[in-house]
């Protein structure tokens, strides 16, 4: 994952080595403070994240900010329980957007352990199926 996210991600209790991402399901979340649909989806995603990780950690999410300022990023990220790519890493943020062909936000993408996109409809999966979507994600990873 280091090739995809760089060596270090932001975690709630400090820096996290991207090489330590070992959850079964790793999701990339493109979102922004200024985006009303994002502001509506992020709390739902937070509840989903807490529910599926209430036992062993199954899901990790990496927030890729489309915020316009560091203050927006910091305020919005303070509402999220997962990891984030540093706001200042604009080149990597742009490269990830291009790699995953992000056209609109919010966008939630399932990747495999090589960083390949396996499913780009995860926002709808979480919204429509909640934790039951993990079965669909398992099938996507096994393809």
Taking the C-alpha atoms of residue 72 and residue 57, their distance in angstroms, rounded to an integer, is 28
CATH classification at residue 56: 3.40.30.10
Q: What is the pLDDT of residues 13-62, one digit of tens each?
A: 999 999 888 899 999 999 999 999 999 999 999 999 999 999 888 999 99
**Residue 95 falls within a domain, yes or no?**
yes
CA atoms within 13 A on the CB side of 126: 28
Residue 140: its pLDDT value, please?
95
Q: Which domain holds residue 80?
A: 18-142
pLDDT for residue 86 is more than 90? yes
Residue 55: its pLDDT value, please?
87
Residue 4: its pLDDT value, please?
92
pLDDT band at 125 (very low <50, low <70, confident <90, very high): very high
**Residue 2 falls within a domain, yes or no?**
no
- The DSSP annotation for 40-104 comes to HHHHHHHHHHHHHTSSS--EEEEEEE--SSHHHHHHHHTT-SSEE--TT-HHHHHHHHHHTT--S
Q: What is the pLDDT of residues 60-76, one digit of tens each?
A: 999 999 999 999 999 99
């Amino acid at each position: 994952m280091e090739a995809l996210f760089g060596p270090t991600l932001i975690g709630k209790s400090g820096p996290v080595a991207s090489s330590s991402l070992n959850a079964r399901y790793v999701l990339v979340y493109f979102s922004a403070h200024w985006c009303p649909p994002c502001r509506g989806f992020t709390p739902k995603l937070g509840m989903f994240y807490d529910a599926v990780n209430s036992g062993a950690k199954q899901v990790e999410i990496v927030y890729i900010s489309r915020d316009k300022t560091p203050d927006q990023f910091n305020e919005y990220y303070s509402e999220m329980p997962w990891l984030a790519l540093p706001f200042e890493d604009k080149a990597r943020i742009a490269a990830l957007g291009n790699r995953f062909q992000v056209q609109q936000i919010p966008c939630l993408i399932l990747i495999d352990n090589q960083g390949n996109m396996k499913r780009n409809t995860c926002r709808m999966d979480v919204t429509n199926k909640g934790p039951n979507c993990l079965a669909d994600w398992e099938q996507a990873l096994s393809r």
